[in-house]
Chains A and B, each alone.
Chain A
Amino acid sequence: MDYLTVALAKGRLGEQSAELFNQIDIGSCLDMKSRKLVFTDEVNRIKFMLLKNSDVVTYVENGVADIGIVGKDMLMESKAKVFQLYNLSFGYCKLCIAGKKGADVYKNNAILRVATKFDRSAKDYFEAKGQKIEIIKLNGSVELAPVLGLSDVIVDLVETGNTLKANGLEVLEDMYEINPLIIANRIGYKFKMKQIDDIIKNIERLELNTIA
């Protein structure tokens, strides 16, 4: 049997994913603290690779990895053509529009300045709402933009809202619910359907038991 290749994101999402796999007796080889980037589970014939969060989709879409675990935010940004097999129940958050307290999201004739890392998702969302915007692409500390007058609002992931509060901002509108999901390459899945479906079944069973 061929190895199944699995792409995981470095960082918190990757650690949660590794924990999840360990709970269904897969990937005991995974050591998230080491500097190694490839781990092989010989028993289950699985190769894991650790990648930058935003590259997981690229590896899966191009077939270098058969499946991967990635946040829906990354998937929406890339618009990749992959199967979205299973929504995981941890790491739930929201993509929101936030700004200074009481700020207006919809301005009749004016162009709204939006600072964000998620430029494609923001563009699509506001286009559907009929609000003209100007995107200001940032790579981090997005919360600063409205405070310092770089933008009117921001579009960002919100988990607890504490970061927003600490910087004097608030959520003005929820856009999308975001959760991590298991994605699969469209061709790879056809050839390893049983192995992949079995893993998902085990995860599903585990999650049901945890809730019960």
Chain B
Amino acid sequence: MKFTNIKDELRYAEKRFKLKQDIERMVIEKGYISYEPGMIEDYDKYVAINTRSNRKAIVKVMNANGQISILRPDITSNLLSNLLPKWEKNLKIKIFYYEKIFKHSGSGIKEIRQMGIECLGIETIDADKEVIWLANDILSQYRKKYILEIGSSEYLKGLLQEFYLEEDEYHEVLTLLDRKNKQDLIRFAKGFKKNEAYEALVNLIDLKGGAEEVIEKAKKSYMNERMSKGLNELNEMVKFMKESGLSDNITCDLSMVSSLGYYSGVMLRGYFRESNREIIKGGRYDTYTEQFGEIIPAIGFSVEMDELLKSLYERGEI
């Protein structure tokens, strides 16, 4: 939020500090350690690993030798490129950060505050449970009415691999799923093989709503090994949340598509009713860690601090 007078501006800054401290306290209690990633990275290295990143939006600076460096466009890749070269076997770490990322926007540079957590090296199901629990804690701390939505990129990729699609077809299907346009999807899939997987694909958009219900429905439709692995991970999470009495606000959307291509398992998003952006987003990214020289189990999420603060401040809730 922007203010024209200093009094409001300082008041807002004070609230931001309080919010940051509150969430920090919550994650420290759960055993997360603070980590400060570097601000500057090498441009060539970054785009070689993050091939799908929007190069125009990256903020470039030139170093003394005339090489191009960048101000970090995201935290996760920065963190992995720092930590993974030093990785030791059987390490289990839980870290959190509160940092800014930088992006070109219009003619200016935008600074975006992010707070996030990452679990590295911890067994899949354990870390999944740990992370959804924490995400739920943060959301429920500030609102009775919120939605914590889960999806699975493994389930989705497992289903799509049945069709042996060309790259552009693959992306078109993802686009249609993301728009939730079932009619266009059916029209586009006309030429696809009409097997059991086909039925599952054209009905995928309907698999959304209460998490338990959706998972039960999905179990009854077509399934291969990869899909089953993805669904099972979701099921374990939902079961765990139910046993802890925390499942009321959890929904599932099996056609959830992430704009980041690198997720490889559970994806999660948190919403508030009156906010027009996700408050929480994240997921599992084991295969992404391979780009940094080591495949380890990895999952994390970030909290959009500016959005969260704005939505609390506007209602005088902080």
Contact = CB atoms under 8 A, between A and B. Distances in A.
B208 A193 contact: yes
Given A62-B276, A191-B147, A193-B209, A84 B184 contact: yes
How big is the B interface, by class?
Answer: 10 to 19
A191 B273 contact: yes
B179 interface: yes
A86 B185 CA distance: 11
Interface centre among A83, A184, A187 (most CB of B within 10 A): A187
B134 to A, nearest CB: 21
Interface in A64-88: 82-87
B180 interface: yes
How big is the A interface, by class?
Answer: 10 to 19
Interface string B161-195: 00000000000000000011101100000000000
Nearest to A181: B181
Contacts of B149: 190
B110 interface: no
Contacts, number: 39
B179 A84 contact: yes
B179 A63 contact: no
Decide if the interface of chain A is mainly helix, strand, loop or mixed.
mixed
Contacts of A84: 179-181, 184
B20 interface: no
B184 A190 contact: no
Interface centre among B149, B251, B276, B277 (most CB of A within 10 A): B276
A185 interface: yes
B275 interface: yes
B133 interface: no
Given A62-B276, A191-B271, A87 B209 contact: no
Contacts of A189: 180
Nearest to A82: B179
A171 B307 CA distance: 48
A187 B179 contact: no
Contacts of A82: 179
Nearest to B181: A84
Contact of B183 (A86, A191, A194): A86
A22 B184 CA distance: 26
Nearest to B279: A187
A83 B251 contact: no
10 contacts: A2-B273, A63-B276, A83-B180, A86-B181, A187-B273, A187-B275, A187-B277, A187-B278, A191-B145, A193-B209
Interface of A: 2, 62-63, 82-87, 181, 184-185, 187, 189-191, 193-194
Given A187-B275, A190-B251, 8 more contacts: A83-B179, A187-B273, A187-B276, A189-B180, A190-B147, A191-B145, A191-B273, A194-B209
